[in-house]
Structure 1
Amino acid sequence: MSNHPFPTLDRRGFLGLTAGLSVAALAGCGTGAPAPAAGAPRAGGRLRAAFAGGGAKEVLDPHLANLFLEAARSKALYDKLADFGDDVAPRPRLAEKWEPSADLTRWRITLRAAEFHDGRPVRAQDVLASYARILDPKRAFRAKASLGLIDLPNSRAIDDRTIEFALKRPYVEFPNVLASFSAYIIPESTEDFTNPVGSGPFAFVSFQPGKSTVLKRNPRYWEGAAHLDELEFVIANEESARVNALLGGQVDYAHDLAPVTARGHQGSDKLMLVRSPNSGIQAFAMKVDRPPFDNRDLREAMFLLADRQQLVDTTLSGAGQVANDLFGKGYQHYADDIPQRVRDLDRAKWLVKKAGAEGLKVKLDTSEAASGFVEAASVFADQAREAGIEIEVAVGNKDTFWADTLKNGSLSSFRSGAMPIESHFSQRLLSKSTTNVTKWARPEFDALYDKAVSTADDAARGAVYRDMQRTLHAEGGYLIWGFADWIIGTSPKVGGVATAPANTLDWARFDKVWLA
């Protein structure tokens, strides 16, 4: 299925979109298939889900969501206007439909009939207030970069269930904005999240930062009540702790298992494995705005000294595939015509010498914030040593790793779940992107992005995206070495866990899960 959000843009005025169909009409289209489980769906019980957490400073503000735990919790408590199907195309959520103007500068959103946990209806003004909060220049919310093209002062609520968004420029990918990570809708004027109110399938019960969160079924959820009575998020930062808790019956769901762990428990009658192929990238991020990786020759040397197959085989235990230093393999507009980069140690050594980097010592920041990070860093350090570069693997604080590496250092471990290639560009690779860990900032690249998102013709837009990828492949800062399977462990009594990629609609979709 194409990720293109609508069939044509050749009529005047507002055009109805395929994406504006009801969710029921889209059933079976791009939804994550549930994993096998014993028993038919049944109501009741508390499911305990173990995730790595963010420590005692955790909050339930969905606009601050960054970790997978925070994303899963926010999805349970709140809704967005749209979310991504497992094909990474936008799907309607609180937005029942969306319609663009012919010049792509205005988008009309029709809200479905939904209500917050306290019984108040979800209104157009709640949407505008939520987006205004995210766009507050005094704050640093992740979704700000994606929502930044909205001309909020000139956007308006036509009525309680209709919004007309004015945009600062023509933008064909606006449904992706509605599905942006952490762009959740909250009641107007909300700032206190000690007893949060959302419109999601679960309502708040209790919260202990760094320890647990308990939620209960929302019986009036617009898409139908969850099977579970209660959902508890339990914090277990170490993967071994999550696995042991699952095997010991303390939890029912363990997020983010390492491939080697999965291989060791294959066929177990105590632990069911749910695999989502090609769900996440594994990479090293080089900051291109500072020494030593402000040198293009040195970055190319790093690309060429990497033995991607060895990294996949050793740190993913084969549960993945080799990548080509580009995001989004298999997604719409992926540049699959670029030849696969392979290891060329001789040229890598020549480029190291050309860059004047012989004997270079550089720190690689990593942590146990993600499974396999430390192991991959160690393997890569051995590979770099063969090209004359000495990498010091520095294992940092897993609770602050992502914030630390966004600003500090020059080389770090990196991974990502699924999102459209356009969103990867807008969130991470534009001069004003808020999560630009490589510090890639090129006016000509920004201009190409602007050209792409104002081009209605799908083929022409795709050609621009491929040009952008060719530039990144040649001189960017992401050394993307693998596409990993996403692996989750569950108790045999858990049913309904989908094989959807991380960060998509059906990932961590606990309202569809049951206890047999």
Structure 2
Amino acid sequence: MIKLSKLMILTVIAALILSACNTNSAGQQEEKKEVNLLFNFATSSLDPNVDTSYVSLRAGITETLIHLNDETLEIEPWLAESWTSEDGQTWTIKLREDVTFQNGNPMDGAAVKASLERAMEDSAAIKNALRIESIEADGYTLTVKTTMPFPEFPSELVHPNTSIIDVTQTDFVNKPIGTGPFAVSSFTPGTAVDLTRYDEYWNGAAKLEAAKFSFNEDANARSLALESGGADIVFRPEVESLEQLEAIEGVTVESTSTFRVHQMTMNLEREVLQDLNVRKAIDALIDRESIVDTILKGHAEVANGPFPSTFTFAPDYPEKETGLESARKYLEAAGYEVVDGVMEKDGEPLALTMLTYSARADLPLIAQVFQSDAGQLGIEVTLQQIEIPEEYMAANRDWDLTTYSNLTAPRGDAGYYLNATYHPDGALNFSGADDDKVTALIDELNMTVGQQERSDIAEEIARYVDEQVYNSFILHPNTLVAYNSDKVENWVTSRSEYYMLTNELDVK
């Protein structure tokens, strides 16, 4: 008993000592400066070169060579100090010389070369986007040659999947070593990544000592987490909860226009969707105004095409016929008729499989509305929930339609979306579009320098794919963020949705 008592006393003393270490001179407990951000997409990997949730960049673990200015929509230096090219094909990139990885290793030319080559090796999408033929490193200078003249090459280096990491540290899934203000402390796939401040960060140590980047794909649960204090910042809270959140003292809700579009991706490899009139019928069935008003509660803009109307390369589209009767007319032109309440052709009913996913809570609701409207014409639409849309659509062709959300101009330029979505080699070409006219126009766009000239070509492409209805565009949603403004300082809701946990983020 005496030995046990001594042990208990020592334990208490140790606890008091630890407590004293966290107590200020006034005897008050000091709280660690940290925040918990709750994101709407879960990830099982932090690998910055392949993770489509871009968690490593958003969480401040990694950075790219070039940064997008959210206000001017122009690219600017980040890990790269400058970039030049005389012919649009051979590029000289000067790197910052004061950057180290979170393990203390220098971020020199050799390290960046290795990182970019690793990204291209592991991601076909990045290889196709960058079009790099060769990279040479000399000290803190890179010489990059692309496979063809590519004036917009620097803007591709904004993409989160081009994040620079130390490839000598190979646990990319659980602990990538980047150059950002926060290093990975621990990672629980599908749940959260715990972060700690990297004191030697080149742009000034973060104001926060630590942070947590958590995941929950349930929009209602995210809203409740903010209400209960379980989260300090919530990305895309439930739309229905916004008024309730705004009524809470100390909670700020921000609704910011962005470069995103909610679209209906069409699988052009399916025979039924190879008929333009069927695609036009599907497009006519989408009640965009009603969806914006009822599902998004006005926090969106009706989409006429992939690009928001504020962009110079967003064309004026001809007015479309919409509604049930217009859809019926297109289907009749395609040879369909209603028999005993079923839309059919040559005795075969028109039945469609539509994919959707819950990480964006409005998409399943949009899918349900479409299913209901299609049912009024005798079209059977089967809804199928998936988890990671990019992975499923790329690996499977057993679907007809997908409610999908995509950033269309995250670098303030049309080239990214048009290359990714409509070029045969595009990383996001899930529809399987392979149109010689579109491909030739995109190749021409890639070699064009002037902004007005680029806008003219982009408009022509956008109008053409709209005529062909290769995809249907529903709305441009606002980015919704709610946070505890009594605690959080210097939060910025970025239009690109790329930059979240920064070295400037702080708590009061």
TM over 0.5: yes
> Equivalent residues in 2 for 1:274-423 (5 A)?
274-335=254-315, 337-341=316-320, 343-358=322-337, 359=343, 360-394=350-384, 396-398=385-387, 400-406=388-394, 407-408=396-397, 409-417=399-407, 418-419=409-410, 420-423=413-416
TM-score (norm 1): 0.84
Aligned-partner SS, 1:463: helix
Q: Distance in 2 between matches of 1:271 and 1:60?
A: 30
AA of the residue aligned to 1:494: V
AA of the residue aligned to 2:39: F
Q: Is the 8 A contact 1:80 1:93 kept in 2?
A: yes
Question: Does structure 1 residue 92 correspond to structure 2 residue 77?
Answer: yes
After superposition, the Cα gap between the structure-2 partners of 1:331 and 1:393, relative to the gap in structure 1 and judged at 3 Å, is same
Provide the residue aligned with 2:500 in structure 1: 508
Provide the residue aligned with 1:440 in structure 2: 433
After superposition, the Cα gap between the structure-2 partners of 1:294 and 1:83, relative to the gap in structure 1 and judged at 3 Å, is farther
AA of the residue aligned to 1:156: E
Provide the residue aligned with 1:38 in structure 2: none
Question: Does structure 1 residue 47 correspond to structure 2 residue 26?
Answer: no
Provide the residue aligned with 1:176 in structure 2: 155
Q: Which residue of 460, 465, 470 corresponds with 1:467?
A: 460
Provide the residue aligned with 2:51 in structure 1: 65
Q: Is the 8 A contact 2:479 2:495 kept in 1?
A: yes
Provide the residue aligned with 1:105 in structure 2: 89
Cα offset for 1:258? 3.1
AA of the residue aligned to 1:112: R
Post-superposition Cα deviations, 1:2-39, rounded to whole Å, max 9, x if no partner, equal: xxxxxxxxxxxxxxxxxxxxxxxxxxxxxxxxxxxxxx
Q: Is the 8 A contact 1:440 1:476 kept in 2?
A: no
Q: Distance in 2 between matches of 1:44 and 1:143?
A: 38
AA of the residue aligned to 1:261: S
Cα offset for 1:143? 2.3
Q: Distance in 2 between matches of 1:349 and 1:514?
A: 56
After superposition, the Cα gap between the structure-2 partners of 1:311 and 1:342, relative to the gap in structure 1 and judged at 3 Å, is farther
Aligned-partner SS, 1:512: coil
Provide the residue aligned with 1:36 in structure 2: none
AA of the residue aligned to 1:427: A
Q: Distance in 2 between matches of 1:362 and 1:100?
A: 49
After superposition, the Cα gap between the structure-2 partners of 1:50 and 1:315, relative to the gap in structure 1 and judged at 3 Å, is same
AA of the residue aligned to 2:160: F
AA of the residue aligned to 1:311: I
After superposition, the Cα gap between the structure-2 partners of 1:500 and 1:455, relative to the gap in structure 1 and judged at 3 Å, is same
Q: Distance in 2 between matches of 1:319 and 1:457?
A: 34
AA of the residue aligned to 1:233: F
Cα offset for 1:461? 2.4
Q: Distance in 2 between matches of 1:164 and 1:97?
A: 12
Aligned-partner SS, 1:237: coil
Post-superposition Cα deviations, 1:225-246, rounded to whole Å, max 9, x if no partner, equal: 2111001122322122222121
Q: Distance in 1 between matches of 2:296 and 2:321?
A: 18
Q: Which residue of 136, 141, 144 corresponds with 1:162?
A: 141
Provide the residue aligned with 1:123 in structure 2: 108
Cα offset for 1:170? 1.0
Q: Is the 8 A contact 1:494 1:515 kept in 2?
A: yes
Q: Which residue of 80, 104, 108 corresponds with 2:64?
A: 80
Q: Unpaired runs of 5+ in structure 1?
A: 1-42
Q: Distance in 1 between matches of 2:57 and 2:294?
A: 29
Post-superposition Cα deviations, 1:34-85, rounded to whole Å, max 9, x if no partner, equal: xxxxxxxxx9611111123436xx1221112212545523xx1111111322
Q: Distance in 2 between matches of 1:372 and 1:344?
A: 21
Cα offset for 1:403? 1.6
Question: Does structure 1 residue 455 correspond to structure 2 residue 437?
Answer: no
After superposition, the Cα gap between the structure-2 partners of 1:245 and 1:141, relative to the gap in structure 1 and judged at 3 Å, is farther
Q: Which residue of 225, 246, 253 corresponds with 1:266?
A: 246
Q: Is the 8 A contact 2:94 2:140 kept in 1?
A: yes
Q: Which residue of 417, 430, 433 corresponds with 1:424?
A: 417
Residue correspondences, number: 458
Q: Which residue of 123, 127, 134 corresponds with 1:144?
A: 127
After superposition, the Cα gap between the structure-2 partners of 1:151 and 1:283, relative to the gap in structure 1 and judged at 3 Å, is same
Q: Distance in 1 between matches of 2:232 and 2:305?
A: 36
> Equivalent residues in 2 for 1:469-508 (5 A)?
469-492=462-485, 493-504=487-498, 507-508=499-500
AA of the residue aligned to 1:393: L
Provide the residue aligned with 1:205 in structure 2: 185
Cα offset for 1:339? 3.2
Cα offset for 1:190? 4.2
Aligned-partner SS, 1:132: helix
Post-superposition Cα deviations, 1:351-402, rounded to whole Å, max 9, x if no partner, equal: 11122344122121112121211111111222333444332233x143x443
TM-score (norm 2): 0.85
Q: Distance in 1 between matches of 2:501 and 2:308?
A: 22
Post-superposition Cα deviations, 1:97-154, rounded to whole Å, max 9, x if no partner, equal: 11111x2111111111211112221111122212211222xx445423212x1112xx
Q: Distance in 1 between matches of 2:261 and 2:41?
A: 20
Q: Distance in 2 between matches of 1:195 and 1:438?
A: 34
Q: Is the 8 A contact 1:278 1:320 kept in 2?
A: no
Identity %: 24
